[in-house]
């Protein structure tokens, strides 16, 4: 619990606010939800105990509070935990996770892809307390066609496609780029 408290303080320091904490049965990890602010125009949903299985934490973002994001993050966390228990491998940029349902009602995005924490200030991506080193990674909601594209051509190819198409990866009601 000590490391979890340290991660909460790390998030509060970088994001300038206190989060609400949630625990879901889907995955036995604590999830923090941090509100949008003038400086950060999006809500941030972050695992805070996933580091016990692979020294990484995962984040989802949305422009407005959406409770279903908490459930999606718990679903992804349970997949990460199963992967760790089975293979002892850490999550990596480009890993794709299938969601239990679309990201939000009216969306066609039903997968998530893991990337470095691009939207965060320098220094946030890695947390260390001198003993533990924990990496924060960002999840982007993607469509099934985009998930297949990542699996075939890699994350860089999808990111190029997003850049060419002007995709805002936080817009959960967007049209797929592929």
Reported as a single tens digit per residue, the pLDDT across 152-174 is: 999 999 999 999 999 999 999 99
Integer CA distances (angstroms), 130 to 12, 64, 99, 137, in order? 19, 35, 35, 20
Q: What is the pLDDT of residue 11?
A: 97
The tokens 């947390």 sit on which residue? Answer: 127
Question: Distance between CA atoms of 31 and 38, rounded to whole angstroms?
Answer: 23
Task: Say whether pLDDT at 32 is over 90.
Answer: yes
Q: Among residues of the chain, what percentage have pLDDT more than 90?
A: 89
Q: Largest Cα–Cα distance of the chain, in whole Å?
A: 45
Whole-angstrom distance, CA of residue 93 vs CA of residue 138: 9
pLDDT attached to residue 27: 78
Q: Please compute the mean of the pLDDT values over residues 53-78 and round it to a whole number.
A: 95
Euclidean distance between the first and the last CA atom of the chain, given in angstroms as a whole number: 42
Query: Which tokens belong to 45?
Result: 């949903």
Asked whether residue 1 carries a pLDDT value surpassing 80, the answer given is: no
């Amino acid at each position: 619990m000590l490391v979890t408290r340290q991660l909460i303080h790390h998030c509060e320091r970088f994001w300038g606010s206190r989060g609400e904490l949630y625990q879901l049965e889907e995955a036995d990890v604590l999830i923090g939800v941090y509100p949008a602010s003038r400086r950060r125009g999006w809500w941030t949903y972050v695992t805070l105990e996933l580091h016990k299985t692979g020294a990484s934490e995962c984040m989802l973002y949305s422009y407005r509070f959406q409770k279903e994001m908490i459930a999606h993050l718990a679903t992804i966390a349970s997949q990460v935990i199963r992967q760790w228990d089975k293979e002892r491998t850490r999550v990596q940029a480009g890993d794709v996770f299938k969601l239990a349902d679309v990201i939000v009602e009216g969306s066609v995005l039903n997968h998530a892809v893991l990337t470095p924490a691009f939207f965060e200030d320098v220094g946030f991506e890695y947390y260390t307390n001198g003993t533990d080193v924990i990496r924060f990674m960002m999840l982007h909601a993607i469509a099934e066609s985009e998930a297949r594209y990542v699996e075939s051509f890699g994350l860089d190819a999808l990111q190029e496609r997003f850049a060419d198409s002007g995709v805002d990866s936080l817009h959960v009601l967007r049209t797929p780029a592929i």
